[in-house]
Amino acid sequence: MREQQTQRQLREPEGDQGPFTADPEELAELWVAKHIEWRRIAALLETTGAPVYVPEGDVEGSGWAREREERRQTVLVMVGVKMAWPFVAHVSNE
């Protein structure tokens, strides 16, 4: 349903909604990816017979989560270094 709404918005834009408006094509791709993931989890639950999703039992999803967290930490470190650089340079020049 949400995919169809996003695709409709892509075909019939409602005018400029400012600089913070998400790109409809990216939204459509995001919703397609979410639905694929939801179907994968539903199939996993059906296969295992589990009544609820437990991330620790999902080898594929847990691997993706670890990779995402590693990328996030790398970016945070890089941003932290970049933000600290003027202060470090200032202190070391004194």
pLDDT value of position 38? 92
pTM of the predicted structure, to 2 decimals:
0.52
pLDDT value of position 85? 66
pLDDT value of position 13? 61
Which DSSP category does 15 fall into? Answer: S
Averaged pLDDT for residues 19-45: 86
